Amino acid sequence: MNGVYLTIDTGTILADAVQRQFADPEQFDEQALLAGWRTAARTGLGRACFSGRILNQFAGQPPQAIAYYLLGAVLQSDVAAIRGSRALCVPPEAEVVVAGKDPLRRAIAQLLQADGAFAAVHLYTSEPGALPMAAEGVLRILEQA
């Protein structure tokens, strides 16, 4: 595609429903996120996306609610993959720490918590001016070597 990337929020019929914008971290919508996640788990991603359009067209849901609904739908398969991974071999009593940028960090943490596969889910927030978590990990590995 020569560097052209299309996403659900910019390159599909759903773009109008979200005003061509990704989920805004300042307008986090937990209810819409969970609704999208549950719909995708029940009916699949395609049907959940179509439901997002219906919610916008016929139920009058605002663009940011639809954006969070779609985010939940898209992340549903990631949450299922984490829960079902044999590579991770994480026991149910494990606590999970989610790092990264909002709204993805907060959305994944919220969905993992709702999923209930782990004892606790924590958000990692670095101190201002601190190294990113990945850099901290590399330094600790180097210290052990």
Cα 69 to chain center, whole Å?
A: 10
In whole numbers, what is the pLDDT of the chain averaged over residues?
A: 88
Cα 122 to chain center, whole Å?
A: 15
- Which stretches within the chain are classed as H helix? 8-11, 30-43, 45-59, 63-84, 104-115, 133-144
- Range among 13-17, 40-44, 59-63 with highest mean pLDDT value: 40-44
Distance separating the N- and C-terminal Cα atoms of the chain: 42
The whole-number pLDDT of residue 5 equals: 61
The whole-number pLDDT of residue 56 equals: 86
Residue 2, pLDDT above cutoff 70: no
- Residue with the bigger pLDDT between 139 and 13: it is 139
* pLDDT, tens digit, 9 for 90 and up, residues 49-86: 999 989 988 888 999 999 999 999 999 999 999 888 88
Contacts of 83 (CB under 8 A, 6+ apart): 115, 117
The whole-number pLDDT of residue 6 equals: 59
Question: What's the pTM value of the predicted model, to 2 decimals?
Answer: 0.83
Cα–Cα distance measured from residue 88 to residue 79, given in angstroms and rounded to the nearest whole number: 13
Cα–Cα distance measured from residue 143 to residue 137, given in angstroms and rounded to the nearest whole number: 10
The DSSP code for 95 is E
